[in-house]
Structure 1
Amino acid sequence: MAGSSFFALFDDIATILDDVSVMTKVAAKKTAGVLGDDLALNAQQVTGVPVNRELPVVWAVAKGSFVNKLILVPAALLISAFAPWAITPLLMLGGAFLCYEGVEKLAHKYLSHGASPEGHHAARAEALQDQTVDMVAFEKTKIKGAVRTDFILSAEIIVISLGAVAGADFTRQVAVLSIIAIGMTVGVYGLVAGIVKLDDLGLYLSQKSSQALAWLGKRIVGAAPYLMKTLSVVGTAAMFMVGGAILTHGIPPVHTAIEHAAAAVGGGGVVQAVVSTLLNALFGIVAGAVVLGLVGVAKRLFKKA
Structure 2
Amino acid sequence: MAGGLAALLDDVAALVKLTAANMDDVAAAAGRASAKAAGVVVDDTAVTPQYVQGIEPKREFPIIKKIAIGSLRNKAIILVFALLLSQFIPWLLTPLLMCGGAFLCYEGAEKVIEIINTKDKDAESPLGTPDEADEKKIISGAVRTDFILSSEIMVISLNEVASETLMNRALILAVVGVALTIGVYGVVALLVKMDDFGLFLAKKGKGSATKSFGRGLVKAMPTVMSIISFVGMLAMLWVGGHILLDGMNKLGFHPLYEFVHHMEHIVEHAIPGFIGAVLAWFTNTGLSLIFGLIVGAIIVAILHFTPLGHGGKKHDDDAHGHSESKTVAESKDAAYRGNSGGASVRA
In the superposition, the TM-score normalised over structure 1's length comes to 0.80
Residue pairs, 1:74-113, within 5 angstroms: 74-112=80-118
- Aligned residue identity for 2:45: L
Partner of residue 146 from structure 2, selected from 145, 154, 160: 154
- Aligned residue identity for 2:108: G
Q: Deviations over 1:251-302 (max 9, x none)?
A: 2221112222233342235133332222222222222222222222345676
Question: Structure 1: any 5+ residue segments left out of the alignment?
Answer: 129-137
Partner of residue 229 from structure 1, selected from 226, 230, 238: 226
Judge conservation of contact 2:245–2:288 (CA < 8 Å) in 1.
Answer: yes
Judge conservation of contact 1:243–1:284 (CA < 8 Å) in 2.
Answer: yes
- Please tell me whether Structure 1 or Structure 2 has the larger radius of gyration of its CA atoms: 2
Taking only the aligned residue pairs, the percentage that are identical comes to 27
1:43 & 1:94 partners in 2: Cα distance? 23
- Aligned residue identity for 1:87: L
Question: 2:335 — aligned with what?
Answer: none
Question: 1:24 — aligned with what?
Answer: 34
Question: 2:263 — aligned with what?
Answer: 261
- Aligned residue identity for 2:29: D
Q: Aligned residues, how many?
A: 286
Question: 2:325 — aligned with what?
Answer: none
Judge conservation of contact 1:245–1:280 (CA < 8 Å) in 2.
Answer: yes
The answer as to 2:294 corresponding to 1:286 is yes
Deviation at 1:10, TM superposition (A): 4.6
Distance 1:92 1:203, change over 3 A: same
Distance 1:259 1:300, change over 3 A: closer
Question: Structure 2: any 5+ residue segments left out of the alignment?
Answer: 1-9, 249-253, 313-347
Distance 1:276 1:62, change over 3 A: closer
2:74 & 2:232 partners in 1: Cα distance? 21
Question: 1:275 — aligned with what?
Answer: 283
Question: 1:175 — aligned with what?
Answer: 171
2:78 & 2:206 partners in 1: Cα distance? 50
Residue pairs, 1:150-229, within 5 angstroms: 150-164=142-156, 165-166=158-159, 167-169=162-164, 170-207=166-203, 208-229=205-226
Judge conservation of contact 1:102–1:236 (CA < 8 Å) in 2.
Answer: yes
Q: Deviations over 1:118-152 (max 9, x none)?
A: 36x4273xxx5xxxxxxxxx442243123212321
Judge conservation of contact 2:85–2:92 (CA < 8 Å) in 1.
Answer: yes
The answer as to 2:40 corresponding to 1:48 is no
Q: Secondary structure at the match of 1:118?
A: coil
Judge conservation of contact 1:263–1:272 (CA < 8 Å) in 2.
Answer: yes
Q: Secondary structure at the match of 1:197?
A: helix
Q: Secondary structure at the match of 1:98?
A: helix
More displaced, 79-88 or 54-63?
54-63
